[in-house]
Amino acid sequence: VCSMGNSTSRLYSALAKTLSSSAVSQHQDCLEQPDSAQLDPIDPKELLEECQIVLQKRPPRFQRDFVDLKKDAASNHRPIRVMQWNILAQALGEGKDNFVQCPIEALKWEERKCLILEEILAYKPDILCLQEVDHYFDTFEPLLSRLGYQCTFFPKPWSPCLDVEQNNGPDGCALFFLKDRFELVNSANIRLTAMKLKTNQVAIAQTLKCNETGRLFCIAVTHLKARTGWERFRSAQGCDLLQNLESITQGAKIPLIICGDFNAEPSEEVYREFSNSSLNLNSAYKLLSPDGQSEPPYTTWKIRPSGECRHTLDYIWYSQHALNVNSALGLLTEEQIGPNRLPSFNYPSDHLSLVCDFSFNQDPDRLL
């Protein structure tokens, strides 16, 4: 165990703690949240320093810059920073995904969780949407609640993590928002259906009130079915999610942001469904392209026994009539990612994090 130093030793127990699988099994439905209210708040700078001590033998974080996308109209409120990230479930990274070029030492949870936290703490999102979370109860909920976030987790009913020996419980979607910026108005855990059948994929949709502006908006997180050959299935799941969000947002009267790993390239039907939805959605990361019409060349890049996989699967959709994208975080370059691709000693997941700053349009009905 790495020494944490005296200045941060009081945080060490929170960061180092890992529940045994037997302890996790006590959370049978994985929906009830542990009570962290009695725990002291954590200074994010101190936690970041603690993570960096644990990671001192690893290469430093990659430098990524925000691209300014602001139009002429200036916003009269502080932007809302939203972060989308498939963080790679620990059980899958070690037990199923078979990243043949990634050393097993790079996947050690005691260090990898610090890499994940370092990424989150570096960008300071107001809202954080995560997929493949299988260390919610022992890591993310206890720490992020002490950083001021309200936390929600919805696991997959039949998580593949449970097939891995010494797993830490099921993986699922998690949504976090800063309680000093937003008030929770409504929350829905959605088990997605396809062809009228309940599936193993889920979503969380929460209606929030922005304390500064009084404006309502809905934030949703999801993770659609993976693998080639399941395109129609993903399309059906996407339709089901859109129908749910149509109801929740009262037909787009409430602005909407949807974050997710869709496991779908822009050429897939589910992508077209979101692009052409009556909810008037646009994909934020298209705005980084010269013409504003093209998705990034990749959001995930890995090497498995079957070969190299370089795909665009992750998106942040938003109501383009009601919200503006002020800036978006640039992606890692091929040179930064390196020849062995992701994950690595430098980066904890096979998916890149996406981060956008949003502001409310002053005339939201103008483009409806």
Distance CA 33, CA 155 (A): 12
Confidence of residue 31 (pLDDT cuts 50, 70, 90): very low
Residue 350 in domain: yes
Interior CA angle at 189 toward 355 and 165, to 5°?
A: 80
Which residue matches tokens 């970041």? 48
E strands, 156-289, are 172-178, 182-194, 197-210, 216-223, 256-261, 281-283
Confidence of residue 11 (pLDDT cuts 50, 70, 90): low
Residue 10 in domain: no
Distance CA 76, CA 73 (A): 9
Question: What does the pLDDT look like over 111-146, one tens digit per residue?
Answer: 999 999 999 999 999 999 999 999 999 999 999 999
Residue 289 in domain: yes
Q: Residue 257: give its domain's CATH number.
A: 3.60.10.10
Residue 51 in domain: no
Residue 45 in domain: no
238: which 2 tokens? 């996407």
Question: What does the pLDDT look like over 337-358, one tens digit per residue?
Answer: 999 999 999 999 999 999 999 9
Residue 73 in domain: no
Residue 368 in domain: no
Residue 105 DSSP class: G
| Whole-model pTM over 0.85 | yes
Q: What is the mean pLDDT of residues 85-95?
A: 95
Question: What does the pLDDT look like over 236-267, one tens digit per residue?
Answer: 999 999 999 999 999 999 999 999 999 999 99
Confidence of residue 76 (pLDDT cuts 50, 70, 90): confident
Residue 46 has pLDDT above 90, yes or no: yes
CA dist list (Å): 224 to 7, 12, 105, 236, 351:
43, 35, 29, 10, 14
Q: What is the mean pLDDT of residues 210-231?
A: 97
Question: How many separate domains does the chain show?
Answer: 1
Burial of 365 (0-12, 13-18, 19+ CB in 10 A): exposed
Distance CA 358, CA 79 (A): 5
155: which 2 tokens? 């696991």
Which residue matches tokens 């097939």? 163
Residue 103 in domain: yes
Residue 327's H or E segment, with its range, is strand 323-329
Supply the range of the domain harboring residue 225: 79-363
What secondary structure does DSSP assign to 273-287, as a single string? HHHT-TT-EEEGGGG
